Structure 1
Amino acid sequence: MAASTATTPLVDHIVILVPHSFLSAPPSWFSEVFHFHSGGRHADGRTENSLVYLPDGAYLEFIAFVPGIDPADRATHHWGSKKEGTVVDWAVTLPSTAEDEAEREQEGAGKGDGRELRLEKLFREVQRKVREQNTGIVYGDLRRGGRTKPDGAILKWSVAFAKREDGEPLELGTVPFWCLDVTPRHLRVPFEEPGNAKHPSGVVGVAKVEVHPELSQTAERAKGVYNALFEEKQAEDEWKLSSLAGEKVHPGAVVSLGASDNPAKIDITFFTDDESWAGKSVGGKIDGENTLTFHLVATSKGK
């Protein structure tokens, strides 16, 4: 695997902040669109999630703060200030190498020590390429994270978030954060297990991630980061976005960048292989006041 290919991101997951009640009693519109799974509580004890696995290998993370969390504690969380009912962030990952697969066969869940070292080396290359763009946006170092699944299995990963070199805050989701598995990814994202990624709406994967920072200046800065991360440009301010198994189920995704001139937002469009759902916007209320909406388009392999 060439070095450039080894560091080209794959879409990993989309993060949607919801009220905690959404996890235990999702609204009816949600179950009519997606089949979802309980994820578990994160290692810091402040958040829990439910997951929607997609056939292209990506997934949706519906994350909520646990009931009774101290507001001051929530405020210190990475997504603590974000509005419920919105896409708050999105993550990319790196493809597995032949060494990873060999290690998986030998160790099962294992400790993943060899993979962790390889990921750190590859990610330093990512940091270098982004820094050399001189946009004022850089990636911080990897830091460990994890989650305990409902069955007691412990998942381990490393994450890295972008930041501005001048110390000013960078709007979340302007550029993707990184989520790199230490334990095998299939334990965290079992999308290939029978039935796990089959949905009533026929959704098969991510078609488009539209990132709209609040300020045009922020969008312009971020453009250099996208140029460093993604090898193939589809159009002005639009890049090809690959996924782990996307070529099996859809023609390929894109990520686009443009200022919103309003509060920052991220819009997500999904591929569906069910023509009766194509062209629709789906969603609804998630609580008494907030709503959530996604868009569906047909794949080239539609029914």
Structure 2
Amino acid sequence: MTRRLEEKGSEVRYEKPVEGGRKRPDDVDVKWEVTFLSLPDGASYQRGTLPFFCHDVTPRELRVPCADANVVHPSGAQGVKSLTIYVTEDLVQELRKAYSAVTGVEEKSEGAFEVPSLYGDGTTTIYVKVPKDEGVTRGGLVLGELVLWGEGVGERKTLDVGNEGVGAIYLESR
């Protein structure tokens, strides 16, 4: 990751992994390591600006059981189609370089990164851009629109009561 960030000319770095774990109620030990964003003095970015990574030490199924009861949602959502991340003008170029390095994909269009879906076929698009209303970011970053997909759900529908765009959650067909 460090090499890819350096190759993109990004100043962003990640810390060394930190051990974590828990004992489940059935007495099974679950272990993982978590890698967080490094925040040096004077960094223009903050934790949450870029993803953190959870590396399973024990089998992933122990930490994230994928039984239907855990992954089927009444709304019909089956995955993330897109996520818009709004950042301030002074962060947008740095974070686009970092997102390219972190995702391992080139920017498809201005601020758009298409990454393979975690489950099933298709892609998830991450947009990193400056909002039209600069006050939206309140000092750095805000998650904008989250679009979930589901097979056969029809036209786009709103799943929350938020405003259009910023903080809104939608469901639509792939």
Normalising by structure 2, report the TM-score. 0.79
**2:113 aligned to which of 239, 249, 261:** 239
Equivalent positions of 1:93-104 (< 5 A) are: none
CA contact (8 A) 1:157 1:182 kept: yes
SS at structure 1 position matched to 2:92: helix
1:281 and 2:158 are equivalent in the alignment: yes
CA contact (8 A) 1:209 1:256 kept: yes
Residue identity matched to 2:89: S
Q: Relative to 1, partners in 2 of residues 1:253 and 1:164: Cα closer, same or farther, differing over 3 Å?
A: same
Matched residue, 1:270: 148
Q: Relative to 1, partners in 2 of residues 1:236 and 1:209: Cα closer, same or farther, differing over 3 Å?
A: same
Matched residue, 1:141: 16
Q: Relative to 1, partners in 2 of residues 1:203 and 1:170: Cα closer, same or farther, differing over 3 Å?
A: same
Instruction: Give the drift of 1:253.
Output: 0.9
Matched residue, 1:156: 31
SS at structure 2 position matched to 1:138: coil
Equivalent-residue separation in structure 2 for 1:130 and 1:296 (angstroms): 33
1:219 and 2:92 are equivalent in the alignment: yes
Q: Which has more helix, going by share of residues?
A: 1
Equivalent positions of 1:1-303 (< 5 A) are: 126-168=1-43, 170-191=45-66, 193-213=67-87, 215-229=88-102, 230-247=104-121, 251-260=122-131, 261=134, 262=136, 263=138, 264-267=141-144, 268-276=146-154, 278-284=155-161, 293-299=168-174
Gaps of 5+ in 1: 1-125, 286-291
Whose RCO is larger (CA < 8 A, sep 6+)? 1
Equivalent-residue separation in structure 2 for 1:234 and 1:275 (angstroms): 27
CA contact (8 A) 2:105 2:115 kept: no
CA contact (8 A) 1:138 1:165 kept: no
CA contact (8 A) 2:39 2:46 kept: no
Instruction: Give the drift of 1:275.
Output: 2.1
Residue identity matched to 1:272: G
CA contact (8 A) 1:130 1:139 kept: no
Matched residue, 1:119: none
Instruction: Give the drift of 1:204.
Output: 0.5
Residue identity matched to 2:160: G
Instruction: Give the drift of 1:156.
Output: 1.3
Instruction: Give the drift of 1:159.
Output: 1.2
Residue identity matched to 1:223: R
Gaps of 5+ in 2: none
Instruction: Give the drift of 1:132.
Output: 3.5
CA contact (8 A) 1:173 1:211 kept: no
Equivalent-residue separation in structure 2 for 1:200 and 1:149 (angstroms): 27
Equivalent-residue separation in structure 2 for 1:128 and 1:190 (angstroms): 33
CA contact (8 A) 2:5 2:11 kept: no
